[in-house]
Structure 1
Amino acid sequence: MTSELVHLAVEAGIATITLDSPANRNALSAQLRRELLAHLSTALADDAVRVIVLGHTGRVFCSGMDLKETRGAGVQEQGVQEVPRILSTIWDSPKPVVARVAGPARAGGVGLVSACDIAVAAEDATFAFSEVRIGVVPAVISVTVLPRLLPRAAHELFLTGETFDAARAVTVGLVNSAVPAAGLDAEVTRYVEMLRLGAPGALAATKQMLRAERPSSMAEQFTRMQELSAGFFAGAEGQEGMAAFAEKRPPSWAR
């Protein structure tokens, strides 16, 4: 029987999805891709889950596509359909997703990091868009990476394939926080606990707002945002949140 390469554990409203294929540096093999998609779907369908954490075992977060599988393979076999589904599932998730990066991320692995809402990395983690160095283009991952990166940095890092550290990843917008390896779990927990203070519906709507295309007219944008704001002020979460604030108690979703 084939061992599972991706694990899902749910505790206290936190779904932890762990890449566990250290033998091939957590590469995006066909099995790993299938299991990652399945666990993401399970976590998103579980009403008890408030936040998703994407982490890994072994020294490497994710080395990108499994080149042993993709060498000489056809387009469909190269995960051209599955990788976009994985990235868009994370990107469009109504629940916040936090990346816990304790080791190197390369190519498609950087795509995973960029798709998450928040990324926390150990200071000794490294990153690289290594595609051009093997004669391919970082095309699919660009959909989630380019909205994160400063334009100058995107040109430099995509074209050179240079390896850069976690501090640089913070500077260019790829990662939120870089901390000593010993403090990685504490920093992830800090973000998770802050996210748990947000109301589920408000978090989902805020994510949708952040992802939405901005109207060309400022007046139209204000109209849309006023409607969104008014709906939540009058809604159940808004009323509960304001009542909790007045009564100096935690709101129902933060208990």
Structure 2
Amino acid sequence: MSCKTDTVSDAGGATRCGPHHVAIIMDGNGRWAQSRGRPRLFGHHAGARRVREVVECCPELGVKYLTIFAFSTENWKRTQVEVAGLMSLFRRYISKEMKALAARNVRVRFIGDRVRLDAKLVKLMDQLEEETQENDGTHLTIALNYGGRDEVARATKRLAQDVAAGKLDPEKVDQETLPRYLDTHVLPDPDLVIRTSGEARISNFLLWQSAYAEYEFIDTLWPDFTSEEMGRLCRSYGSRDRRFGGVKT
């Protein structure tokens, strides 16, 4: 078997193909907090702390790219208290983790529409991207005010503008063209998408990019998700037969 992705070792020491790019829908923070009689924001803070453990385990698992879904374009529908608390949490997380991420050789990018985000948060996002832009270890992408449909709509608008400006021949537009306009244009497509908390839907996450991704829907609530479970899912991925529409020969 020839691996197109990196390798991981199973419990018996055998080497298997592991995912190069893992994307995670981090769900269940609110339910985790409520089950403990605490407010939903308590769960979001616990979830933010969990991100560090998952980022740190990526190198040993051969995961070069990690993309996490932090806040969707639909999350603005939540209460003003929760949204304001989340925005404060994002600012605190970036400020607190900036030096540690840089020291661990993590390259950080943000995807999503920044127009609706407050200026202080956007400034911190820009600063974190700049501080880590030379790093070549784990590539951490944080989807913030992100929605797959919104991303495709924005990409299509930019593509149409280039056509109107004469920069792009409409006759040459194909399925390889649009990805160059997506937020993720510098990233490979995800190999494995994980959703925590027992929900079995993709919630408008990486719609174009995950066309051939493998999915894992697990019951674990995000604040309880561990590096051990991440490793198990990466090993499980290695046993799958990925044919991309073809037939195994």
Return the TM-score normalized by structure 2. 0.32
Return the TM-score normalized by structure 1. 0.32
- Bigger helix fraction: 1
